[in-house]
Structure 1
Amino acid sequence: MEDIIDRPALSVNGFIILALMIVLALTAVGVGGEITLPFVSILLLILGTGFTIINPNESRVVTFFGRYMGTVTKNGLVWTIPITKKQNVSLRFINFTSPKLKVNDSNGNPIEIGSVIVWRVENAAKAIFTVDAYQEFISNQSEIVIRSIAAQYPYDAEDKTSLRGSTGEITEKLVSELQEKLQIAGIFIKDAKISHLAYSPEIAVAMLRRQQAEAVLFARRRLVEGALGIVDDVLTHYKKQGINLSDEHRIELINNLLVTLTSDREANPIVNVGK
């Protein structure tokens, strides 16, 4: 396949060429003649096909009977090679919102994922000649990359990279892989982020219950760790004060403190009057 290199095409300020055409037309009318007028008229028609209007952050890819002649990026009324095809390519940044895709994460759980990708054409010639319909190419390659990344990571995890918890790392990987896939079409990826992430409806309720159970377990673990720290501080304080507790009293103290500190209800003191 031919490697297309983006290069500037012949381009002149259109108003200069327009002024020259007016002068040529007036001269032809003044001179007259059966040969001069038809010749000048045909010449003016040919020259007129070279005009094009280019807005800011737009370009024209110029081809002459199938041959790439270059790219025009000047703004305003521009005159370029006549009798050529001039394809408009926008150089503006564009938001592409992918559809919600149903994929399996690295744990095999079905999830829904979607993303927003900010891109623009960096090489207009490659976008036109290297791929067929570059916008459709971006859509297809984006879906491939999103599916691939979703399959490499779990939806959520505490001790490793996950789709929900590691947004920065996932964004970097998404941009990197998209740029690698799309650079062949002259596309520059500015940013890419996950815009939608959820468990599939068929397992959403079950996964929500699991997340709630994990949250409760984590909270309980932190509570017990804190309570053990308090118990240790109490025993250390008693020891510094010279209060020696028997093993039976130490166990009873620890049990009472743990029950009081980890209970989800208020402690109700009981006064023992039987001894």
Structure 2
Amino acid sequence: MSLPEKRRRLLSLKNTDYEQIDQIDFDTEKSGRGNERCVGEEAGGFVDDDDDDDVNDFGMEEDSADNCLSSLKLLCPGALSCCLSIIFAPTWLFSVRMNRHNEAKLALNWGQYVTVKNTSGLFLVNPFGVQLKSVSLKERAMELRDEKLVDLKGNPVVCSGCIFWRVSSVKASTLNVEDVSVYVKTCALATLKQVVAKYPYSPDFEGQPSLQTEGEALGRELKLDLQKRLAHAGVKVLAFNMTDLSYAPEIAKAMLVKQQAEAMIRARQIIVKGAVDMSEEALNQLHEKKICQLSDADRTRILSQMLSIFCADSKGNPTTTIQASSGALPDHRQPKLGR
């Protein structure tokens, strides 16, 4: 999309009164940077880039008409404010305000919404009845540390997560919620509880989704669910990932024993299967090569010994059966009979 087309599209959105706009994607070329995919979610709600006065940090071209309109609203937000500022003209000397980089200010006039000032630098504000609320447009990270939750089976687990987010609508984040940071954290905890309760801690069978195996899918689901909760708060969720997962301390020991038992059973199944296959192969080779003729009793005895050796926990010791020969004992070992 060319720059004139983007300008006409933004100008057509002026009458939305700074309401949140659906994402506008476009590609722009800059020297040495190639094509960039950028997103804009609020008309005029971005900060100018220091390197390019016409393009803001998120890649959207600033609307100079909107900036002029915003400045005019700050100078004359209402009839009462204008009259008082004319009567007490010297108060204009104390009406200079400053916007930092990646910062926006929402203006209220006697409690009513006026406009949003998003360009960085100095600007004038009517000294009467105008209240400014600063909102940071920077990306933020929030951590949920060691939250005790319940999985699908009702087992208590301890989860930690990290949320990456930023404000996308200054008006919504300021007027619709009391404290946007606290609101994001509360909604993130509720989302984490809801999603964790859908999955077991570990899979009961191969292919079952679980908290241990579905990390990437869980991250996507957490992000989408949290974005739905924060849509009216003017917050854009960039990522929501689980960073730590473990059983709660009160059941950790019991679950460790269970995991060890399950691992031992799986290992025994593999050992038994391998032992049977090896024993069968050994007997078949003895029969095919005609090394010796084995009766059913001999095959049973050999098979029993091989399985005992293969399946034993410790190293097996070979034994040889010795049959006693018939005959009388030597004279010096003959029992002496009493007279």
TM range (shorter): 0.7 to 0.9
SS at match of 1:100: strand
Instruction: State whether residues 151 and 199 of structure 2, in contact with CA within 8 Å, keep that contact through their aligned partners in structure 1.
Output: yes
Distance 1:229 1:130 in 2: 69
Instruction: State whether residues 98 and 114 of structure 1, in contact with CA within 8 Å, keep that contact through their aligned partners in structure 2.
Output: yes
Residue 60 (structure 1) aligns with: 105
Q: How does 1:136-151 map to 2 (within 5 A)?
A: 136-151=182-197
Residue 143 (structure 2) aligns with: 97
Give the partner amino acid of 2:255: M
Match of 1:128 among 131, 155, 174: 174
Instruction: State whether residues 48 and 82 of structure 1, in contact with CA within 8 Å, keep that contact through their aligned partners in structure 2.
Output: no
Give the partner amino acid of 2:266: F
Give the partner amino acid of 2:314: R
Match of 1:259 among 303, 308, 327: 308
Deviations 1:207-242, CA, capped at 9 Å, x for gaps: 121111112222212222222232233244335435
Give the partner amino acid of 1:71: V
Distance 1:236 1:52 in 2: 93
Residue 162 (structure 2) aligns with: 116
Residue 201 (structure 1) aligns with: 249
Instruction: State whether residues 96 and 116 of structure 1, in contact with CA within 8 Å, keep that contact through their aligned partners in structure 2.
Output: yes
Instruction: State whether residues 102 and 112 of structure 1, in contact with CA within 8 Å, keep that contact through their aligned partners in structure 2.
Output: yes
Match of 1:176 among 224, 228, 234: 224
Structure 2 residue ranges without an equivalent (≥5) = 1-16, 21-41, 46-65, 69-84, 325-339
SS at match of 1:152: coil
Deviations 1:11-49, CA, capped at 9 Å, x for gaps: 47xxxxxxxxxxxxxxxxxxxxxxxxxx99954633752
Residue 272 (structure 2) aligns with: 224
Q: Which has the larger radius of gyration?
A: 2
RMSD of equivalent CA atoms: 2.9
Structure 1 residue ranges without an equivalent (≥5) = 13-38
Residue 52 (structure 2) aligns with: none
Instruction: State whether residues 141 and 164 of structure 2, in contact with CA within 8 Å, keep that contact through their aligned partners in structure 1.
Output: yes
Give the partner amino acid of 2:194: S
Residue 24 (structure 2) aligns with: none
Give the partner amino acid of 1:105: D
Deviations 1:106-156, CA, capped at 9 Å, x for gaps: 111122223221111122211112222222211221121111112111122
Instruction: State whether residues 4 and 130 of structure 1, in contact with CA within 8 Å, keep that contact through their aligned partners in structure 2.
Output: no
Match of 2:211 among 153, 163, 167: 163
Instruction: State whether residues 107 and 113 of structure 2, in contact with CA within 8 Å, keep that contact through their aligned partners in structure 1.
Output: yes
Q: Report the alpha carbon displacement of residue 266 of structure 1 after superposing the two structures with TM.
A: 0.9
Determine what percentage of the aligned residue pairs are the same residue: 24
Distance 2:250 2:152 in 1: 18
Residue 333 (structure 2) aligns with: none
Residue 320 (structure 2) aligns with: 271
Instruction: State whether residues 223 and 239 of structure 2, in contact with CA within 8 Å, keep that contact through their aligned partners in structure 1.
Output: yes
Q: Report the alpha carbon displacement of residue 158 of structure 1 after superposing the two structures with TM.
A: 4.6
Residue 44 (structure 2) aligns with: 8
Structure 2 CA distance for partners of 1:181 and 1:240, relative to 1, 3 Å: farther
Deviations 1:151-209, CA, capped at 9 Å, x for gaps: 11112225312222322222221112111211221212222222342322222221121
More moved, 128-137 vs 241-250 = 241-250
SS at match of 1:103: strand
Residue 26 (structure 1) aligns with: none
- TM-score, length of structure 2 as denominator length: 0.64
Instruction: State whether residues 97 and 125 of structure 2, in contact with CA within 8 Å, keep that contact through their aligned partners in structure 1.
Output: no
Match of 2:281 among 218, 221, 233: 233
Distance 1:191 1:221 in 2: 41
Distance 1:238 1:129 in 2: 86
Residue 237 (structure 2) aligns with: 189
Instruction: State whether residues 18 and 44 of structure 2, in contact with CA within 8 Å, keep that contact through their aligned partners in structure 1.
Output: no
- TM-score, length of structure 1 as denominator length: 0.77
Structure 2 CA distance for partners of 1:249 and 1:124, relative to 1, 3 Å: farther
SS at match of 2:101: coil
SS at match of 1:253: helix
Distance 1:166 1:233 in 2: 40
